[in-house]
Amino acid sequence: MAKIYNIRRKKIGSNLDQFDENPDQTSDNSTAFPEELRSTRHRRADPRKIWYYLELLFSMLIDSFNGKYPLPKKTVLVITFALLYLISPVDFSPDIFPVIGLVDDVAVLAFAFSLIKEDLEKYRAWKMSYEY
């Protein structure tokens, strides 16, 4: 055991010469991170934003049915498959389980919104320029 301890100690001790000791430096928190990493924070899903995107989606569908806005094919496919999955009796986890059964449905909706978010933003920009 002493032999192993000496090897570890020697290995750690041999690396100490790589560090510069600066008496003016009070801590080792001087690591510089890029601005993107410093400004990134964990963002929780905002229910107001979810409702905003749902309202935007329904508005986009209404304008599409009225012939004012051409609905992108990708959006049509994503919405169709998401709705088919929601009404389908075949799920990854059956809906008879109280909480677990709804988790996969919510995950599919969240994934669908992440796929069509760019199209919704384009529609929002079109709608803002169209109204004014």
Cβ contacts of 47-50, under 8 Å, gap ≥ 24: 50/113
State whether residue 17 is helix, strand or coil: helix
Asked if 126 contacts 56 with a C-beta cutoff of 8 angstroms, the reply is no
Asked if 79 contacts 116 with a C-beta cutoff of 8 angstroms, the reply is yes
Ordered by start, the domain boundaries in the chain are 47-131
pTM to 2 decimal places? 0.58
pLDDT recorded at residue 22 = 59
pLDDT recorded at residue 47 = 67
Residue type, 16: L
pLDDT recorded at residue 72 = 92
pLDDT recorded at residue 96 = 76
pLDDT recorded at residue 65 = 93
pLDDT recorded at residue 89 = 80
pLDDT recorded at residue 25 = 55
Q: What is the mean pLDDT of each run of 10 residues along the chain (132 residues)?
A: 52 53 55 55 64 90 93 94 88 78 84 92 91 64
Q: How many residues does the chain have?
A: 132
Dist. CA 65–CA 54, nearest whole Å = 17
pLDDT recorded at residue 71 = 92
pLDDT recorded at residue 2 = 54
Residue type, 66: N
